[in-house]
């Protein structure tokens, strides 16, 4: 059961979104109930070790070997993750025309699996792998199969799951790892088709997200601390234009001072109630 303040806030959100035209921006908090860890705590502070930077990944084969050894063990959990009630609720709101666009910072494709369409993936998708030498893309499942076949010594190795399909793997397991080669050009600079820390969002993707925000009647943030500028800038545009900016998020966000409404509750619990109200 929802307590009175949260129910009142839900009613305000319902009234704001009743006429449609909203855009929804999601972050890691919507996928944690599906078993995918997030990067930050409730204060917006990054958990654990520093993730690999884009420049580091490009710099040396050793860095790519380290990344792929850990990622090979982390992929099955991402691959097996299923959409939760929050993903399904947003898909239903989109089907009913209650939201005009869905933008996500997540790279797990759970929105697509839930039935959402034309999702704007700010940070790409782990389900694709990009060759930096020839520009061709491959399915991650295909690349995963190659890595498993080439690195049988890692079979049965247990590693602690980290955000975005990474794991905490003992460095002793990394030295022998055979990094994947491109099936098109045999290049060795294979990269998950995601935006690394230190890398810019692809310009066409950033432009598409910005256009959606500019056209929106308002923006609802779900499960994001908004610490990444690619997401925060969308909130800034909404606020600067005097449009409603609202959030469902457990903990601090970078846009707290800009928000018209913030509901600190589980999006997995709240979004199905919102969908029920808006589609009946």
Per-residue b/e over 122-152, b at no fewer than 16 CB within 10 Å? bbbbbbbbbbeeeeeebebeebbebbeeebe
Mapped onto helix, strand or coil, the DSSP state of residue 164 is helix
Q: Is 106 annotated as belonging to a binding site?
A: yes
Q: Is 107 annotated as belonging to a binding site?
A: yes
Q: Is 224 annotated as belonging to a binding site?
A: yes
CA 71 to chain CA centroid, nearest Å: 16
Q: Is 123 a catalytic residue?
A: yes
Backbone phi, then psi, for 22, in 5-degree steps?
Answer: -80, 155
Q: Is 138 annotated as belonging to a binding site?
A: no
Q: Is 134 annotated as belonging to a binding site?
A: yes
Mapped onto helix, strand or coil, the DSSP state of residue 210 is helix
Q: Is 250 annotated as belonging to a binding site?
A: yes
Neighbouring CB atoms inside 10 A of 277's CB total 15
Q: Is 182 annotated as belonging to a binding site?
A: yes
Element (H, E) at 207: helix 203-215
- Name the catalytic one among 9, 111, 123, 127: 123
Q: Is 225 annotated as belonging to a binding site?
A: yes
Q: How many helices (H) and strands (E) does the chain have?
A: 9, 11
Q: Is 31 annotated as belonging to a binding site?
A: no
Q: Is 235 annotated as belonging to a binding site?
A: no
Q: Which residues are annotated as a binding site for NAD(+)?
A: 105-108, 223-225, 249-251, 267
Q: Which residues are annotated as a binding site for Zn(2+)?
A: 131, 134, 182, 185
Q: Which residues are catalytic?
A: 123
Q: Which residues are annotated as a binding site?
A: 105-108, 131, 134, 182, 185, 223-225, 249-251, 267
């Amino acid at each position: 059961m929802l307590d009175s303040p949260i129910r009142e806030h839900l009613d305000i959100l319902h009234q704001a979104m009743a006429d449609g035209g909203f855009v929804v921006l999601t972050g890691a908090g919507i996928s944690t109930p599906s078993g995918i860890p997030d990067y930050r705590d409730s204060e917006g502070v990054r958990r654990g070790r520093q993730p690999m930077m884009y420049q580091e990944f490009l710099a040396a084969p050793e860095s790519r070997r380290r990344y792929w050894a850990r990622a090979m063990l982390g992929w099955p959990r991402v691959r097996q993750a299923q959409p939760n009630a929050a993903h399904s609720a947003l898909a239903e709101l989109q089907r009913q025309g209650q939201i005009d666009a869905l933008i996500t910072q997540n790279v797990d494709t759970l929105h697509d699996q839930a039935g959402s369409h034309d999702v704007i993936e700010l940070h790409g998708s782990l389900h694709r792998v990009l060759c930096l030498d020839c520009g061709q893309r491959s399915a991650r499942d295909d690349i995963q199969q190659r890595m498993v076949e080439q690195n049988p010594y890692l079979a049965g190795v247990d590693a602690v799951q980290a955000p975005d399909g990474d794991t905490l793997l003992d460095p002793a397991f990394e030295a022998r790892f055979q990094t994947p080669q491109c099936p098109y050009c045999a290049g060795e600079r294979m990269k998950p088709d995601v935006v690394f820390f230190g890398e810019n969002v692809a310009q066409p993707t950033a432009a598409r997200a910005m256009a959606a925000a500019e056209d929106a009647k308002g923006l609802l943030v779900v499960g994001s601390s908004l610490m990444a500028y690619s997401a925060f800038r969308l909130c800034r545009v909404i606020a600067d234009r005097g449009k409603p900016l609202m959030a469902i998020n457990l903990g601090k966000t970078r846009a707290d001072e800009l928000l018209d409404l913030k509901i600190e509750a589980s999006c997995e619990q709240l979004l199905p109630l919102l969908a029920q109200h808006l589609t009946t």
